[in-house]
Structure 1
Amino acid sequence: MSSVARVPEVSEATGGPVTAREAWAGVRSDGARAAGRELASRFRYGDGFSHARALAFQLALAALPLVIAAVGLAGAWDAASVRLVLNRTVLQLTPGASDDLLRRTLPSGDTTLATAALLLAAVSALVALTTAMAQVERGANRLYGIQRDRPSVEKYRRALTLSLVAGVPLMVGSLLILTRDAFAEAVESVYAVDDDLVAAWTGPAGLVLVVASLMAVLRSAPARQQPGWPVLLAGSLLAVGAWTGLTLLLAGFLHLSTGFGSVYGPVTGVIALLLWAQLSATALFFGVAVSAELEMAAVRTRWRTGGLGGPPPAGPLPSVPSSRSPGDRPRREEPA
């Protein structure tokens, strides 16, 4: 149960949807330091880290079966070159201590795995991804101050749709960004296409997939009427920036650490996957918190200037003064 102030839904009756200009004007009015403090408070008291841990577990459950199913189905359907590219990409991405375990795990051309078994792996990945999208709704609702999710049938139907429309493209885009160089080298070795050319379009294509998927998640996951795309784009871009920075830090740590692979041995890749999933889930919910706080800043500005038409939104609106003396404390304004 989160304890953050609920972000009021701004409808046509109360001045129309929040725009990006209003959101950034609200942030400037509050002040960067106060806005950052409000963002950190919303993420913390909305249990952002707890929801990130739950989402990371579901992402880890979905990632490996999805890769195995993709590689296996490519081989089962006589797409040997595609299977070879996927195999080489994954093997170049994983830490060296996990190579032997991964080679035994990934389907190879000599392995006669039934298509039904590979389809089962794909279904398992889809189920895990669907529960992950349901967890995204729960976490997003709490960060927006919404204490109850949608009814179960509607919630998981929406989660299944989001997993297909946004979840799979989000994971594919993430992998394209993470494996850009390895994917380019694998494509060059299999198809004889220049790796520089492949790397030149792989990164932008992955970035477009990630940002578009995050915007779809931010638009559809919370059980409320969301603001316009520009506000959600800001949250998506900041989430991608946070995810990129955290992923680079993890990659640098794995590259520079001499004892990490020797400590974990064959399961080094699994541990790296769990760490990456945790960082990715944290970045996603950070983007949700940013979008929520941008909308709240715009609503506060409308409330102060009398720009809200119709009845005032229910519940108190936290007021962040734009200027404070050293002894001032944050105040809460009650609707008149």
Structure 2
Amino acid sequence: MGTATKVPQTRSMSGEELSADHAWTTLRRYGRWHLIRDSFARFRYGDGMTNSRALAFQICLSIIPGAIALVGLSSVLNQEQLGQVLELTLSRIAPGAGVEAVKDVLADSHRQAGHTGGTLALWLGLATALFSLTSAMAQVERGANRIYGVERDRPFHRKYGKALLMAVTAGAFMTVGFVVMVGGGAIGRALAKVYGWNDGMMDAFTLVRWPVGFLLALLSASVLFRAAPRRRQPGHTWLAFGALVSLVLWTVFTLLLALYTERSGTFGATYGPLTAVMALLLWSFLSSMALFLGLAFAAQLEACRGGSAGPVEPDPGPTAEEEREPLVGAVGAAVGAAVRELARLWRRRREGRDRASEAGSRRGGAAAAARGHAGERAG
């Protein structure tokens, strides 16, 4: 349960949906850095990190079996050229030592496509990927609701029905846009090798892939931002501000991760054949964070326009002083007991020394008296 404040549903004075003009006016009035700070607070207290981890897990469960199934089923459906493009692209995207592992898995996928049981397994793998992608879209709804301060998701049938629709529309197009931007070079080389493209076609693909991938990702994110939360959302152009923030963060995170995996010799050496899987896990987590951070930006922008007091509810927990009291009390009691024990031992030792001194004095007096009596008898 998050503690982000509930974002009021707002409209323009004429009752129309909020648009990019309203968003720009609100952004200038509220201040960029102030908005960035409050957006991060909304992301944090809206369980953004928790939902990012869950979404990353679902993304991995959809990408890995989906890619394997598509490569294998391309042979069954007599689409060998498409399968070759996918196989070459995945092999070239995989970092370091993970290339051989990817090739082995894809080769096994081709072998399974040669018999009936293997074909059924590939279809089941594709169904598993679709189920995981649907679960990922449901996780987006859950995370979006918490960021907007909505504590209850849609009923089960509505939630997962809408998640399935988002998975085959916005989710699929967003994935295509991301893949085109990240692996566009590998895709272009694979297409050129399989279909025999010349240099002119390669140059055209290189020129087109960036704007096409960017627009696909931006539009898909805007649609996702509008459909996911359980509330009435502003217009697509308003939400495009948050989608743009997500896309910029995703690009930065992806470039930094690619730079790290390529330049760092320890990454591949540490994970060996699992390098590709670990890179996918990290990329999925960073991508999920970027998505929810952009959503938090759009939510906080609307909250500012609606006059919300702040991004976070007052802290319901104990104060710092109250948290320290039990610790201080326990430590104080332990220290007091130790001091009392040391004092008791010191008193016992001192009393022992006093008794020993007194006993020595008595023995000395008795010895002196005995010597005196002995002298008197001798005299």
Tell me whether 1:175 sits opposite 2:179 in the alignment: yes
Of Structure 1 and Structure 2, the greater helix share is in 2
CA distance in 2: counterparts of 1:232 and 1:30, whole angstroms? 17
Give the superposed CA RMSD. Answer: 1.8
Which residue is 1:326 aligned to?
none
* Aligned-partner residue type, residue 222 of structure 1: P
1:186 corresponding residue in structure 2: 190
**Residues 289-298 or 29-38, more deviating:** 29-38
Distance 2:192 2:143 in 1: 41
- 2:14 & 2:41 partners in 1: Cα distance? 26
What is the match of residue 56 of structure 1? 56
Please give the secondary structure, in 2, of the residue aligned with 1:106. Answer: helix
Supply the distance in 1 between the matched residues of 2:209 and 2:142 (Cα, whole angstroms).
32
- Once residues 319 and 250 of structure 1 are traced to their aligned partners in structure 2, the CA distance between those partners, rounded to angstroms, is 33
Q: Secondary structure at the match of 1:259?
A: helix
Q: Give the 3-state SS of the residue equivalent to 2:152 in structure 1.
A: coil
**Residue 128 of structure 2 is aligned to residue 133 of structure 1:** no
Deviations 1:293-317 (A, max 9, x none): 12112222xxxxxxxxxxxxxxxx2
Whether the 8 Å contact between 1:235 and 1:290 is mirrored in structure 2 is yes
C-alpha contact 1:134 1:159 (8 A) present in aligned 2: yes
The residue number in structure 1 matching 2:37 is: 37
Q: Structure 1 13/181 Cα, relative in aligned 2: closer, same or farther at 3 Å?
A: closer
8-17 or 143-152, larger mean C-alpha shift: 8-17
Q: Which amino acid aligns with 2:264?
A: S
- Could you say which residue in structure 2 is the equivalent of 1:86? 86
The residue type paired with residue 227 of structure 1 is: P
- State the TM-score, normalized to the length of structure 1: 0.86
What is the total number of aligned residue pairs between the two structures?
304
Residue 175 of structure 1 aligns with an amino acid whose one-letter code is V
Q: Residue deviations 1:179-223, cap 9 Å, x none?
A: 111111111111111322222222322222211211111110000
Provide the TM-score with structure 2 as the length reference: 0.76
Q: Is the 8 A contact 1:254 1:260 kept in 2?
A: yes
Alignment partners' CA distance in 2, 1:21 and 1:71: 45
Q: Which residue of 2 aligns with 1:318?
A: 309
1:246 counterpart (250, 253, 272) = 253
Counterpart of 1:24 in structure 2 is 24
Structure 1 residues 126 and 167: alpha-carbon distance in aligned structure 2, compared to 1, 3 A threshold: same
Structure 1 range deviating more: 71-80 or 263-272: 71-80
- Structure 2 residue matching 1:146: 3-state secondary structure: coil
Please say if residues 47 and 146 of structure 2, whose CA atoms lie closer than 8 Å, have aligned partners that are also in contact.
yes
Within the alignment, does 1:101 sit opposite 2:92 as a pair?
A: no
Which one has a bigger Cα radius of gyration? 2
Stretches of structure 2 that go unaligned for 5 or more consecutive residues are 312-379
Structure 2 letter corresponding to 1:52:
S
> Between the two proteins, what is the percent identity of the paired residues?
39
Q: Distance in 1 between matches of 2:305 and 2:27?
A: 8
Question: Which position in structure 1 is the counterpart of 2:283?
Answer: 276
